[in-house]
Amino acid sequence: MAWKRWAILGGLRDLPEALRRRPLILVAREAFSVLAERLDLPQPVMVAIPGSRTQLIRRPVLARIEAAIQDQLDRRPGETPVVLLQSGASLGYWFVRRLRLKFPKVIYLDLGEALSIWRLDNTELTIWIEPYWQQIKTACLDPLESTGRDQP
């Protein structure tokens, strides 16, 4: 809930700028593959996960995330990658807990559903946003301008 609160209050507005300076690994539903273009980010390594029941395949997903991190560390030595997760709750904790043991210098951000503020044109991803629509639009105006959605 903390990331959603930050989204509502505009605290995530500057996140895209911070992500531009680091290798990025995006662990999210395929619908989020447009984030790089939308937020003017370098193309991230995408580790696609299903919209539900990811916990049933968590070990193969973890292996794919580990491979993506190792690849980025090998390709860009000296740079700290960011793993941006959209898994949320206990699964996000499960991933980060294991990844941190193997890759302690990597930055992990599990935004969960708060990542949806940059996919407002996909109403399946934004149900939680509707009561806060006007507040998020005001607080995060720039990232929302390119979403193609004017109202909930």
The Cβ of residue 130 has, within 10 Å, a number of other Cβ atoms equal to 10
CB 106 within 8 A of CB 87: no
What are the residues whose beta carbons fall under 8 Å from the beta carbon of 124, sequence distance 6 or more? Answer: 31
Q: Is the pLDDT of residue 19 over 80?
A: yes
Read off φ and ψ for residue 107, nearest 5 degrees: -95, 130
- Give whichever of 44-58, 90-104, 109-123 has the largest mean pLDDT: 90-104
Overall average pLDDT of the 69-97 stretch: 91
pLDDT at 128: 58
Share the mean pLDDT of the chain: 79
- Beta partners for 27? 47, 85
Q: In what order do the strands lie in the sheet with 24-28?
A: 45-48, 24-28, 82-85, 107-110
Q: What is the pLDDT of residues 116-149, one digit of tens each?
A: 666 556 555 555 556 665 666 666 655 444 444 4
Q: Is the pLDDT of residue 96 over 90?
A: yes
